[in-house]
């Protein structure tokens, strides 16, 4: 049996993979009869060896291949001169795999697992009629809200519509993050209705949203506003250590976003690599576009120096943050790229 699972919604894809595993019977026996292969450098002989090994005390072997379709994904067109590695895959490249995967042994279940794959992928085209294919696009709008409602109900909770709207705005369509935040909210509310205020208190992205604003005014040299926002955050109970960690993480994220955007990474992959929700990533993308790498590196290094000064006992944490904000807002502005 051959399955193909692909798409940006990695959470739903992994749940589907777990369902396939569950349908194969005793999980302890399956664990000893499971092989995971990396598709990027896989040879057909390696696949054959894994699939044709006789199952040990079980009816089936499970072979999971990660990234085989991506290996034959058509390259994006560009104006630069093509290198050999940019040439589209010829049929002779992927035909050995399509031939073998079309007739896997009865004792084997083979699952191809991939991220976002285009419809013109040649290996996918060859195998579509010979496999059970499941694609997983990111959930949006009504489908995402239905998923959220179901997740809350499965965990024994209930959520107000306004709280769900705020939660969707803050987290977006990253179901790994959404599932974690919903579980925290259900635990926090202990059976009562989840309200907007619960989301504000529990969901980490709400706290991060205020840090975005503080980073903005620091990078824009707005001393008065930066000091005002810092005092507001401290007044709401945010600890200096928390703020320093969040500021450092956000500036580092802005630098990483600039790097990944230069590599033309899609949104879904950036969310996975940076472990950010959609809301946080969109804010970081927008924010990073306004500042030069030099300015961001300057802020980042001063944050690290402040952390070191606190750990060495030169200043208490709150005073160190006050000094940091004042110094950064007085630096000569670097022209943004």
Most confident of 38-42, 144-148, 247-251, 325-329: 144-148
Contact at 8 Å (CB) between 245 and 300?
no
Question: Which among 93, 109, 151, 107 has a CA at the least distance from the CA of 5?
Answer: 109
pLDDT, tens only, 216-230 = 787 777 888 888 888
Report d(CA 47, CA 323) in Å as an integer: 60
Give start and end residues of each alpha helix (H) in 160-203: 161-171, 175-189, 196-202
In this prediction, residue 332 has a pLDDT band, given cuts at 50, 70 and 90, of: very low
The average confidence (pLDDT) of the chain is 83
Residues paired with 5 in a beta bridge = 113, 134
CA distances 307 to 147, 216, 310, 319, Å, are 41, 20, 5, 12
* Section 175-186 average pLDDT: 88
pLDDT, tens only, 278-317 = 767 887 888 888 778 888 888 888 888 888 888 887 778 8
CA distances 235 to 91, 193, 238, 239, 242, Å, are 64, 28, 7, 9, 13
Report d(CA 13, CA 11) in Å as an integer: 5
Proportion of the chain above pLDDT 90, given as a percent: 25
* Section 97-106 average pLDDT: 90
Report d(CA 44, CA 46) in Å as an integer: 5
In this prediction, residue 148 has a pLDDT band, given cuts at 50, 70 and 90, of: very high
Report d(CA 39, CA 34) in Å as an integer: 16
**pLDDT attached to residue 80:** 44
Phi, psi of 222 (to 5 degrees): -95, 85
* Section 63-80 average pLDDT: 76
Given a cut of 80, whether residue 75 has pLDDT beyond it is: no
Find all residues with CB under 8 Å of 54, minimum gap 6, and list them: 107
Contact at 8 Å (CB) between 214 and 324?
no
Given a cut of 70, whether residue 66 has pLDDT beyond it is: yes
**pLDDT attached to residue 138:** 84
In order of their start, the domains of the chain are 2-135 (3.40.50.300), 141-202 (1.10.8.60), 204-330 (1.20.272.10)
Q: Which of 35-44, 52-61, 167-176, 249-258 has the lowest mean pLDDT?
A: 167-176
Question: Which among 292, 293, 297, 303 has a CA at the least distance from the CA of 335?
Answer: 292
């Amino acid at each position: 049996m051959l399955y193909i699972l692909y798409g940006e919604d990695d959470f739903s894809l992994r749940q589907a993979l777990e369902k396939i595993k569950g349908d194969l019977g005793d999980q302890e026996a399956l664990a000893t009869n499971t092989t995971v292969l990396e598709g990027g450098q896989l040879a057909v002989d390696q696949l054959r060896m894994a699939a044709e090994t006789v199952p040990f005390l079980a009816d089936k072997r499970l072979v999971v291949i990660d990234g085989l379709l991506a290996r034959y994904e058509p390259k994006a067109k560009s104006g630069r001169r093509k290198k050999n590695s940019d040439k589209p895959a010829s049929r002779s490249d992927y035909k050995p795999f399509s031939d073998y995967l079309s007739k896997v042994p009865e004792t084997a279940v083979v699952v191809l697992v991939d991220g976002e794959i285009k419809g013109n992928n040649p290996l996918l085209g060859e195998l579509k009629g010979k496999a059970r294919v499941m694609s997983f696009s990111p959930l949006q709008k009504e489908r995402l809200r239905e998923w959220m409602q179901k997740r809350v109900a499965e965990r024994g909770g209930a959520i107000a519509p306004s709280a769900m709207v705020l939660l969707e705005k803050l987290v977006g369509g990253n179901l790994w993050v959404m599932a974690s935040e919903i579980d925290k909210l259900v635990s926090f509310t202990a059976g009562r209705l989840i309200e907007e205020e619960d989301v504000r208190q529990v969901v980490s992205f709400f706290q991060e949203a205020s840090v975005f604003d503080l980073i903005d005014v620091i990078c824009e040299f707005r001393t008065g506003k930066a000091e005002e926002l810092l005092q507001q955050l401290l007044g709401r109970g945010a600890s200096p250590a928390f703020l320093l960690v969040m500021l450092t993480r956000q500036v580092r994220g802005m630098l990483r976003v600039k790097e990944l955007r230069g590599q033309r990474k899609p949104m879904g992959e950036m969310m996975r690599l940076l472990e950010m929700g959609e809301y946080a990533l969109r804010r970081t993308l927008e924010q990073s576009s306004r500042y030069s790498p030099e300015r961001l590196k300057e802020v980042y290094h001063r944050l690290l120096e402040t952390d070191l000064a606190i750990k060495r006992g030169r200043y208490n944490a709150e005073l160190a943050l006050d000094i940091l904000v004042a110094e950064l807002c007085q630096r000569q502005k670097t022209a943004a790229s």
